Structure 1
């Protein structure tokens, strides 16, 4: 049995689907099982890593854990879940971290939170693997509304380039690491096959949608206001903006071989991802 935390989010849900496809029993931890909408056959359990008492017993019968937490308190949440895994005799924890955690120059909030979370996992005494994606192709879905209604992508830091990865590739890597031996104590940096700017992604979306699109660079303050308007609090909005700004640095544009080394195939391109999500950008 493999426990997946963050199972209702983009990456967590993809991990659930990949594990089920591999015939692996899955338990999903969520704060709200009644709205989880997970596939039949998943053992959905209630628990909140912010409340250590609520995760008592959720690791019973679990051999491995996919650990995905977010927000300013993620290190404490990682520590709670890692301790519970150790107490239950779990053999392996696979933590989803941030690619920027591996950059020693990164002192902004998200990599700082994840460094502390990684340390909590290591300190638990359970065997571990850490996955550090550089950026998600799925973040382009934030542009879907203006693409549909205005044929426009609005995003800051137009000169920035990130070797973004398809969450399905993260899930494929996680599934291999969770189900095969030989990955203990490894840190894997995960990227897509090429670094892309927002304008590059806009051009690819235009080709896939077969209609002209425009990239309009926004200011950081405009982008931050958009995050606040999407119900992020100020702490998270500032953390996301700091992470976005790192696209201007060389670290995020490096292509890494880990996806192909682990899965045996090259990572999907942004064009592949866009084709799979074409309907979400299509006009009414």
Structure 2
């Protein structure tokens, strides 16, 4: 049986679907199991990754684990889960990390948290695989409200480019690592097929949606205020802004062949992702076919 943490999130839910489709037995961890809404046949257990007793209970009978944690508690949560996995005799642990963790110059909070989490996983003695995406295409959903209301994307760091990757492709790499062999001790850095700036993503969204959209660059201070307005704690808001600022560096614009190499399929383009999520931004014009290449 495979344990999936973060199972109701963007990557976790895609992974659960792919594992179920492959015929795997899945146990999903959720803080609110009654609201998980996962496919039939998935065993859902309630547990907080900060609770060693609950995590140990969820680990019983598990052979392989997908670890997804977030926020300042990443080092603590990863350490608790890795220890429980070792005690339970887990044979593989796949951790979702951050692409920036592989940049030695990255000392901002999110890669620092994940670097400590990776170290806990590697020190556990459980065979491990690390998956490091550079950035998520799904982060564009943060613009959905302003696109629906104003046909406008407001984002900082307009000159920065990130080779964003579809969460479904991240999940596909994780699924291969969980289900197959030959992935122990491997670190996979993932990207999409091209680096894109916020303005370039806006242009692609406009083409897919079939209506003009505008990109307006805002200051980092304005962007941070918008994050805080959504109820994000200040510490995490600062960490998010520090990560966004790294789009100005060359590291985030590198295109890696990893998705193709591991899964045998090319990564989805941002246009494909946008077409699949058009409803979130307002549908394309009637009778128009959205591009997917």
* Class of the TM-score when normalised by the shorter of the 2 chains: over 0.9
Indicate the SS of the match to 2:118: helix
Matched-pair contact (CA < 8 Å) for 1:108–1:242: yes
Q: Where do 5+ consecutive residues of structure 2 fail to align? A: 285-293
Count, aligned residues: 284
Aligned to 1:129: 129
Using the TM superposition, give the Cα deviation of residue 107 of structure 1 relative to its aligned residue in structure 2, in angstroms: 0.3
Which 10-residue stretch deviates more, 51-60 or 39-48?
51-60
Indicate the SS of the match to 1:83: helix
Aligned to 1:195: 195
Using the TM superposition, give the Cα deviation of residue 55 of structure 1 relative to its aligned residue in structure 2, in angstroms: 1.5
Aligned to 1:252: 252
RMSD of aligned residue pairs (Cα, Å): 0.9
TM-score of the superposed pair, with normalisation by structure 1: 0.99
Aligned to 1:75: 75
Give, in whole Å, the separation in 2 of the partners of 1:150 and 1:283: 14
Using the TM superposition, give the Cα deviation of residue 51 of structure 1 relative to its aligned residue in structure 2, in angstroms: 1.4
Runs of 4+ with deviation above 6 angstroms: none
Give, in whole Å, the separation in 1 of the partners of 2:176 and 2:258: 12
Aligned to 2:291: none
Indicate the SS of the match to 2:215: strand
Matched-pair contact (CA < 8 Å) for 2:209–2:283: no
Aligned to 1:169: 169
Using the TM superposition, give the Cα deviation of residue 59 of structure 1 relative to its aligned residue in structure 2, in angstroms: 1.2
Give, in whole Å, the separation in 2 of the partners of 1:216 and 1:41: 46
The alignment status of 1:42 with 2:42, answered yes or no, reads yes
Q: Where do 5+ consecutive residues of structure 1 fail to align? A: none
Give, in whole Å, the separation in 2 of the partners of 1:83 and 1:199: 44
Matched-pair contact (CA < 8 Å) for 1:148–1:283: no
Give, in whole Å, the separation in 1 of the partners of 2:137 and 2:117: 24
